[in-house]
């Protein structure tokens, strides 16, 4: 599985059988290099797809449990848990507030945590058992990004193009990864 960051909390996950877009914009749908049947919006206001315009895509925007092409997805408010190629990816949207027991459980099960930066991002990340922590939505959040990176002693972290994750080769501890915007 490979994760790319397209900026503005837009994430493309390339799996072996299925690809997933998280929070794409209209231009992302026109891309020929990043095509996905599964589309997840962490907030209603981000969903620009109207009923009847889905084409072959499955649009997920809201709480519930879903399975599409072997990808298991659980939505709890602005938190989504996805199981892609056996890797558990959790996306926490900016609007995420207090963490209830079900949300804490999803954080503890995660292998990869995609975290939209906000005032409580560091606290949420520290409650996670994820092997990889990836801050997203950092473009206009320099202060929050600095606090987040300082919290994990990664002040001078270099950006990388993408993150390739294999369930059998997860790091022992926590690794913070800062992805480049791939516009």
Task: Find the DSSP H helices in 18-117.
Answer: 26-30, 101-109
Share of the chain above pLDDT 90, in %: 63
Task: Find the DSSP H helices in the chain.
Answer: 26-30, 101-109, 121-127, 142-151
**pLDDT tier at 68, thresholds 50, 70, 90:** very high
In the β-sheet with 38-40, what is the strand arrangement from edge to edge?
58-60, 38-40, 19-22, 10-14, 2-7, 162-164
Mean pLDDT (the chain, rounded): 90
What is the CATH class of 2-179?
alpha beta
Could you tell me the residue ranges of all domains in the chain?
2-179
Contact 115, 125 (CB under 8 A): yes
Global pTM? 0.92
Strand partners, 32: none
In three-state secondary structure terms, 18 is: coil
What is the distance between the alpha carbons of residues 124 and 48, in angstroms, rounded to a whole number?
28
> Of 159 and 43, which is predicted with more confidence?
159
Task: Find the DSSP H helices in 41-183.
Answer: 101-109, 121-127, 142-151
- For residue range 95-116, what is the model confidence (pLDDT) as tens digits? 666 778 888 888 889 999 999 9
């Amino acid at each position: 599985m490979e994760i790319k960051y397209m900026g503005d909390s837009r994430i493309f996950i390339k799996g072996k059988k299925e690809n997933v877009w998280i929070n794409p914009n209209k231009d992302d749908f026109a891309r020929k290099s990043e095509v996905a049947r599964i589309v997840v919006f962490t907030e209603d206001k981000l969903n620009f797809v109207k009923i009847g315009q889905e084409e072959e895509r499955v649009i997920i925007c809201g709480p519930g449990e879903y399975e599409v092409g072997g990808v298991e997805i659980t939505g709890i408010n602005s938190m989504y848990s996805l199981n892609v190629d056996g890797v558990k990816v959790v996306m926490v949207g900016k609007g995420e507030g207090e963490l209830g027991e079900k949300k804490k459980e999803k954080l503890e099960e995660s292998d990869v945590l995609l975290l939209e930066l906000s005032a409580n991002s560091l606290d949420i990340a520290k409650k996670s058992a994820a092997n990889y922590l990836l801050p997203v939505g950092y473009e206009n959040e320099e202060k929050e990004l600095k606090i987040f990176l300082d919290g994990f002693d990664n002040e001078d972290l270099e950006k990388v193009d993408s993150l390739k994750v294999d369930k059998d080769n997860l790091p022992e501890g926590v690794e913070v990864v800062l992805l480049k915007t791939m516009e």
